[in-house]
Structure 1
């Protein structure tokens, strides 16, 4: 067993009851379909690496799991309709997964793209997103912290958008205020909203 496999074992074991069968099933299917794939934890969740390239990934969250393919010719309707990270939308049980044959075909296409030297499709599709309005409550709080204001002024648009989305999605004033306080603290330290998952 590799260190990566041991870490994936630990990751799966730590997830909720609904998620473990989903992750275990996809993991077994990847290894049956692509025996050369090795396991690694990247950005805090499991990845399957083929010939040095990220083939697929899986992750579990509080109420759903997700599966993504770094090399894919299209994105399924499930993601569009349900949202969520990955290509298959929010997966809450094994019945939400496509048939095994369909998953094997996705893995085969991804491996073939890697073999052909293709770039990950998400890199080719990605377009700059429109700027989001930053809530005035956030800008006021940042302005009150000189260290946060200095970092904020140098942040790239993506990091600003991440914070604007996070604050804007708050359902209550209490949640918004809690997030703003946390945001100012992280920004003052030079951290983006998703700093825990950024490659170090």
Structure 2
């Protein structure tokens, strides 16, 4: 079975110009660590596997990310990983150039440790889901929804996180003018069925 996936080639070629050398470098580094590592695509992003998932990378509009599937279990003696409770992928922070990456030798050490965890059959321990707090829709937004029935329809049928992203964005506005502007933008996006972060989704 080939270690190279042509879908990853396509992903890199479609990424922004600044992202391509970053993604190519990370890809080469992973394969340099072990020729047995294979590529695949999951959730529209390149993933690397060996006896299970090892790591993944992604390109966005203005930055790239790289993370380990079992990052929370890595020793991280050099404190280069930003481990979040949701095991999110951006453990090296925002990568905008090759200069933002740790040294090749350091990254290889971390990849080797991730390989060892998979060889040992260590499983990711999933945190127990926390109870979702009830979403409170402010009255000013409820009133505005009356003018945009399609926006309200799409909002109502959206997932919990879909709604929360919009609500947090609007409620946390520092000024009334900013809030009003965000509300109008939200109505336009919701009417089209877009999520709050639709610009960053591939």
TM (normalized to structure 2)?
0.69
Instruction: Tell me which residue corresponds to 2:116.
Output: 112
Tell me if structure 1 keeps the 8 A contact 2:54–2:111.
yes
Offset of residue 169 of structure 1: 7.0
Q: In the TM superposition, what are the counterparts of 1:54-133 in structure 2 within 5 Å?
A: 54-72=53-71, 73=73, 76=79, 79=82, 86-120=90-124, 123-124=126-127
Tell me if structure 1 keeps the 8 A contact 2:189–2:196.
no
Within the alignment, does 1:163 sit opposite 2:166 as a pair? yes
SS at match of 2:41: strand
Instruction: Tell me which residue corresponds to 1:178.
Output: 185
Instruction: Tell me which residue corresponds to 2:15.
Output: 15
Tell me if structure 2 keeps the 8 A contact 1:138–1:180.
no
For the pair shown, the structure with the greater C-alpha radius of gyration is 2
- CA separation in 1, counterparts of 2:90 and 2:129? 14
Q: Which has the higher helix share?
A: 1
- CA separation in 2, counterparts of 1:26 and 1:47? 11
- CA separation in 2, counterparts of 1:6 and 1:29? 17
Q: 1:38 to 1:155 in 2, by over 3 A?
A: same
Stretch moving more, 35-44 or 89-98:
35-44
User: CA RMSD, aligned part only?
Assistant: 3.9
Offset of residue 49 of structure 1: 2.0
Unaligned 5+ runs, structure 2: none
- CA separation in 1, counterparts of 2:53 and 2:169? 28
- CA separation in 1, counterparts of 2:29 and 2:100? 15
Stretch moving more, 137-146 or 95-104:
137-146
Offset of residue 14 of structure 1: 1.4
- CA separation in 1, counterparts of 2:31 and 2:3? 16
Offset of residue 159 of structure 1: 3.9
Offset of residue 174 of structure 1: 3.8
Tell me if structure 2 keeps the 8 A contact 1:79–1:90.
no
